[in-house]
Amino acid sequence: MSVQLQRRLFTVTEYHQMIEIGMFPESDRLELITGELIQMSPIGSRHAACVARLNALFSQHLAEKSIVWPQNPVILDDNSEPQPDIALLRRRPDFYQHGNPQKSDIFLLVEVADTSIGYDRDVKIPLYAKNRIPEVWLIDLNQSCVEIYRDSDGNSYQTIQPILPGATLNILAFPDVIFNSSDILG
């Protein structure tokens, strides 16, 4: 006879309560995905450099139009608070001091992946589509490619566009700002 094990899923509120009481060491890199606590992969030097490049590029070109939010949490729903590598958010005078950004605050989420490519593509991007995030970039460091995901129907992204080194790209919310993928990929 096999026993069906039950998982205990958490809400964002419960997750925040656990953080407040010090349940997790500050060194733990956790995110809440569909009610489950997920240990995030360590950040390697290629990954860190790409995030730093994006942070610099976005800050230089979009600082007056958005808040650049590197490796910080965003609340998607009652059970998911991922920490994308970069989020571009609506400007707010308090810089979200009184609460993490919600999905309605998000212009763009960026995931940088080398070892986590499968997880980002198969778990996080569908979660972002389900929550109708307008645009997601997946930067695949192994293939030197930026994948742009747009047009969520609530299940998946209808438009997926690979951008190779040397090509230009823009952000849906800021079509007048053009980036060269080589500046992102390094």
Does 135 fall in a domain?
A: yes
User: Does a structural domain hold residue 20?
Assistant: no
Percentage of the chain modeled with pLDDT above 90: 91
Mean pLDDT across the stretch 37-49? Answer: 93
In a domain, 26, yes or no: no
**What long-range pairs does 36-39 form, CB within 8 A, spacing at least 24?**
36/7, 36/9, 36/10, 37/10
> pTM (2 decimals)?
0.94
pLDDT for 2 equals 77
Count of positions (residues) in the chain: 186
CA 135 to chain centroid: 10
The number of domains in the chain is: 1
Which two tokens mark 16?
Answer: 């925040």
| Model confidence at 17: pLDDT above 90 | yes
Helices (H) and strands (E) in the chain, counts: 5, 10
64 part of a folded domain: yes
For residue 86, count CB atoms less than 10 angstroms from its CB and return exposed for 0-12, middle for 13-18, buried for 19 or more: buried
pLDDT in tens, 115-135: 999 999 999 999 999 999 999
Per-residue pLDDT at 59: 97
Q: Is residue 5 part of a domain?
A: no
**Domain span including residue 126:** 43-185
Structural tokens at position 134:
């307008």
CB 123: neighbour CB atoms within 10 A? 15
81 three-state secondary structure: strand
pLDDT at 1 exceeding the cut of 80 = no
Write the pLDDT tens digit of every residue in 141-176. 999 999 999 999 999 999 999 999 999 999 999 999
CA angle 151, 156, 139 (to 5 degrees): 80
The answer to whether position 16 is within a domain reads: no
The CATH number that applies at residue 79 is 3.90.1570.10
Distance between CA 165 and CA 182 in Å, rounded?
Answer: 5
